[in-house]
């Protein structure tokens, strides 16, 4: 049985909500019908990924040997069969059922593009991804499970970014191709990260927060390399302002829907992204200012995590602090010290700085658990 459920049962017992006999019945039911806690979820997750990969590889390997009607039948049977198996197992093994439904949605996306190739349809990636997102959305409405929440959270922004890049909307160059999508996805990742807070920790929210913990570092690093885009003078100011309003407004709306007024830190994330984008990374003093902004943003991420009792934000803030120090050393000091002294300094930085950051991280997490 999951440790979190055991803690809840102990809390219910202590509060007098249930008696010992009811607690035993709950534990017995979970032992028989549960998913084995973390080990079970890990097995289902890894097995689901292998199953999805195997199905896609099998279909792709035999694709050229099949007639168009057989291809359509194979894809339809695969998708329908996976979802029917998931529905049949829903009361018997909820975890396995969720995994099969998720694999079915993945197979649906692969089938969209395979069938488009088979019947010589126009190659339109945005519309294919939109159709995939619609299918994932229907699955979310019917199943209300976390894999489809994650699928929608990935596919809808992906479609918007590709569609915006294709249409342009009056912008060209780095602003349209890199700047605005990076800002939008960084703030959106922070919105996903904000889904969890004190007293707000449903499974689908934790899944969104985990997705955000991957999205935020990736696009925060990309943002640091795109500072030149903000200095492009050929753009129309109204078009840039409109693009920024859309790129920031949509993630802020998502964060507001997830957390309401508690999503106010996203305003700081948006302001940070815009300021960094407007700075010129080729200028030495502006590059130093960018590093300073990243240090402040990392500290703010740690404080945000401590305030809401979310260890992922604390870990991300500490990681961002360490990466910013390393980036500053490598871009500003390494060449000035020479190769040998630079490598020695880098080694000392990793050894001493890594130890100090790890001790700090553990102390912060201990303080968070104590509620101070």
The residue length of the chain stands at: 372
Half-sphere exposure of 221 (CA within 13 A, CB side): 12
CA dihedral 294, 300, 301, 302 (to 10 degrees): 120
Neighbours of 29 (CB within 10 A): 11
**Which tokens sit at 319?**
């990681």
User: Using the 8-state DSSP alphabet, how is residue 282 labeled?
Assistant: T
List per-residue pLDDT tens for the chain, 372 residues long: 455 666 677 777 777 767 777 767 766 666 555 554 555 555 656 565 666 667 666 666 666 666 777 777 877 888 888 888 888 888 777 777 888 888 888 888 878 877 776 666 555 677 888 889 999 999 999 988 889 999 999 999 999 888 876 665 555 555 656 778 889 999 999 999 999 988 788 889 999 999 999 999 999 988 887 754 444 545 566 767 777 888 899 999 999 999 988 899 999 999 999 898 888 767 778 888 888 999 999 999 999 988 888 888 999 999 999 888 888 877 777 666 766 776 777 777 777 877 888 888 888 888 877 765
- Domain parsing of the chain, residue ranges: 56-167
**310: helix, coil or strand?**
coil
Quick check: 192 and 211 in contact, CB under 8 A? yes
Quick check: 235 and 171 in contact, CB under 8 A? yes
DSSP class per residue in 73-136:
HHHHHHHHHHHHHHHHTTTT-HHHHHHHHHHHHHHHHHHHHHHHHHTT----HHHHHHHHHHHH
Q: Is 321 exposed, middle or buried (0-12, 13-18, 19+ CB in 10 A)?
A: buried
The pLDDT of residue 233 is: 47
Long-range contacts of 131-139 (CB under 8 A, 24+ apart): 132/108, 133/158, 133/159, 135/105, 135/108, 135/109, 136/105, 136/109, 139/101, 139/104, 139/105
């Amino acid at each position: 049985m999951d440790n979190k459920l055991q803690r809840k049962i102990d809390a219910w017992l202590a509060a007098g909500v249930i008696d010992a006999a009811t607690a035993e019945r709950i534990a017995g039911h979970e032992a028989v019908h549960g998913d084995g806690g973390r080990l079970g979820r890990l097995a289902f997750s890894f097995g689901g990924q292998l199953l999805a990969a195997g199905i896609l590889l099998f279909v792709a390997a035999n694709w050229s040997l099949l007639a168009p009607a057989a291809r359509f039948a194979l894809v339809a049977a695969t998708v329908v069969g996976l979802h029917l198996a998931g529905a049949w197992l829903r009361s018997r093994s909820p975890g396995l059922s969720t995994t099969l439904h998720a694999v079915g949605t993945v197979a649906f996306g692969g089938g969209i593009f395979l069938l488009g190739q088979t019947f010589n349809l126009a190659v339109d990636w945005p519309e294919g991804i939109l159709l995939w997102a619609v299918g994932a959305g229907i699955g979310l409405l019917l199943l209300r499970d976390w894999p489809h929440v994650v699928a929608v959270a990935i596919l809808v922004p992906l479609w918007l970014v590709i569609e915006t890049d294709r249409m342009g909307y009056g912008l060209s160059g780095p602003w349209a191709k890199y700047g605005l999508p990076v800002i939008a996805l960084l703030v959106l990742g922070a919105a996903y990260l904000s889904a969890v807070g004190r007293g707000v920790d449903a499974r689908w929210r934790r899944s969104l927060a985990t997705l955000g913990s991957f999205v935020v570092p990736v696009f925060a690093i990309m943002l640091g390399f795109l500072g030149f885009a903000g200095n492009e003078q050929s753009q129309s100011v109204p078009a840039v302002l409109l693009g920024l309003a859309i790129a920031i407004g949509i993630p802020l709306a998502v964060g507001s829907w997830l957390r309401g007024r508690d999503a106010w830190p996203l305003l700081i994330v948006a302001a940070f992204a815009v300021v960094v984008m407007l700075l010129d990374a080729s200028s030495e003093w502006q590059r130093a200012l960018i590093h300073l902004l990243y240090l402040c943003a990392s500290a703010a991420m740690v404080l945000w995590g401590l305030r809401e009792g979310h260890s992922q934000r604390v870990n991300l803030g500490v990681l961002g602090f360490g990466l910013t120090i390393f980036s500053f050393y490598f871009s500003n000091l390494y060449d000035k010290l020479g190769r040998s002294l630079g490598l020695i300094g880098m080694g000392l930085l990793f050894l001493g700085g890594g130890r100090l950051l790890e001790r700090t991280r553990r102390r912060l997490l201990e303080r968070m658990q104590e509620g101070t």
